[in-house]
A = this chain, B = another copy of it.
Amino acid sequence: MQHIICSDLEGVFVPEIWINVAEKTGIDELKLTTRDISDYTALMDKRLSILEAHGLTLADIRAVIAKIDPLPGALEFLDALRAEHQIIIVSDTFIEFAGPLMEKLKRPTLFCNCLKVDDSRRITGYELRQEDGKKKTARALQGLNYRVIAFGDSYNDIRMLQAADHAFLFRPPENVVREYPQIPATYDYDELMGHIRATVAEGHAN
């Protein structure tokens, strides 16, 4: 059977986008995460109202994001991975934000959400493509007869990792490692690549 890779974006290939936007714009409030406001809708509404209050358009935010670089070694790892396997990156971010970063990663396929933007390029809202999109992507690929190897760094990846045929955590926070000891944790790209290659080799041997 053929394997396919299903991976997270932020924390795996690129740094956290909102935190970087906060740092690069100097707007500290944008550092709020689901740890501060647990309800995602409330958090996103807050973020969008902050952008609005500062008069920031989509073009402004994209210019900021264009200054963010992939994590060190991420592009080389991804290039090596794409030479051996097909990969779908699945993220909770918005396609309009991710664009400049995906270009730096040489445009791997990304499944994510999208923003609502008005004629003056003001961000007026957003659209989540579907509930539980990460897990559903893993399931859809299995429905296409792929054996799914998934990896991600945190809580929002867990359901995808649990649905996958093989799963790895990449640089997870300690509490995630403690809560999900059955998912092997990896901390650098070579280690993760070694796990992926071993998984595929074992699959072919069976």
Contacts and interface: CB of A to CB of B under 8 A. Distances in A.
Contact of A82 (B107, B114, B146): B107
A49 interface: no
Instruction: State how many copies of this chain the complex holds.
Output: 2
Contact of A144 (B86, B95, B111): B111
A1 B129 CA distance: 7
A106 interface: yes
Interface in A141-199: 141, 143-146
A136 B145 CA distance: 10
A5 to B, nearest CB: 10
Nearest to A143: B140
A111 B86 contact: yes
Given A140-B143, A144-B140, A110 B129 contact: no
27 contacts: A2-B95, A2-B114, A2-B129, A83-B103, A83-B107, A86-B109, A86-B110, A86-B111, A87-B109, A88-B109, A106-B106, A106-B107, A107-B108, A108-B109, A109-B109, A111-B144, A129-B144, A129-B145, A129-B146, A130-B144, A133-B144, A133-B145, A136-B143, A136-B144, A137-B144, A140-B140, A140-B144
